[in-house]
Structure 1
Amino acid sequence: MRPRGGTEGCSLTVPMRAETNGIIGDALIAIGPDRPDYEEWDFWISKHEEDDE
């Protein structure tokens, strides 16, 4: 999820598969522009925000 009005360089909250001590589940994590997949998520979120309006 992105703050309304999406600003460049902000963190994004995205779903990720998480595993701890052999237990697998889903989690929401905040990622910043320093992550390699940030631009992909930013593009995907921007594209789907239009669907929500």
Structure 2
Amino acid sequence: MDGNFGQRTESAVRAYQTRQSIAVDGVVGDQTWWAPAGAAGATLAKLAGLVTA
């Protein structure tokens, strides 16, 4: 893992950002990590195990 996204990953991030109505830049920054990711209001950070509460 080198932290660099390939084209498919960047496209997926951009699509997620568009669906969440946040700035579309293809980068998983704070806005993207903390955008609600599901019906229960989970965030990407929580789903990735980076948040315990």
Q: TM class by shorter-chain length?
A: under 0.3
Query: What's the TM-score, normalizing by structure 1?
Result: 0.26
Query: Greater helix percent: which structure?
Result: 2
| Larger radius of gyration between Structure 1 and Structure 2 | 1
When you count strand as a share of all residues, which structure comes out higher? Answer: 1
Per chain length, whose mean CA-contact separation is higher, i.e. which structure has more relative contact order (CA < 8 Å, sep 6+)?
1
